[in-house]
Amino acid sequence: MAKNDRFVVKHGEDWAVKRAGVARPESVHNLQSQAEQQAKSTVRSLGGGEVRIQGRDGKWRDSDTVASGRDPSPPRDRKH
């Protein structure tokens, strides 16, 4: 895992943005979509990386590669 990668995981009744190997979440949100947006924004500002999203059942449901916010010709995301 790269140091810029983030995970959106269930955190009690809320959703948290976490970094690999760190127990404490970076941020906690009411909605999964809010946590996903925050994770993508963080990864983009750090130079790009991977955002993995966990479903309510605990299984990984999606993974997005986020390009750096400074990339003049970013790769196209054909999945979304």
> Looking at the domain assignment, is residue 55 inside a domain?
yes
What pLDDT band is residue 6 in, cutting at 50, 70 and 90?
Answer: very high
> Looking at the domain assignment, is residue 76 inside a domain?
no
What three-state secondary structure class fits 33?
helix
> Looking at the domain assignment, is residue 50 inside a domain?
yes
Six token digits for residue 72: 């003049």
> Looking at the domain assignment, is residue 1 inside a domain?
no
Domain count, the chain: 1
CB 45 within 8 A of CB 34: no
What pLDDT band is residue 1 in, cutting at 50, 70 and 90?
Answer: low
What three-state secondary structure class fits 2?
coil
Q: Structural domain of residue 62, as residue ranges?
A: 6-66
> Looking at the domain assignment, is residue 18 inside a domain?
yes
By CB atoms closer than 10 A (0-12, 13-18, 19+), residue 57 is exposed
Average pLDDT rounded to a whole number, residues 51-77: 84
Global confidence as pTM: 0.82
Which candidate, 14, 22, 56, places its Cα nearest to that of 38? 14
> Looking at the domain assignment, is residue 24 inside a domain?
yes
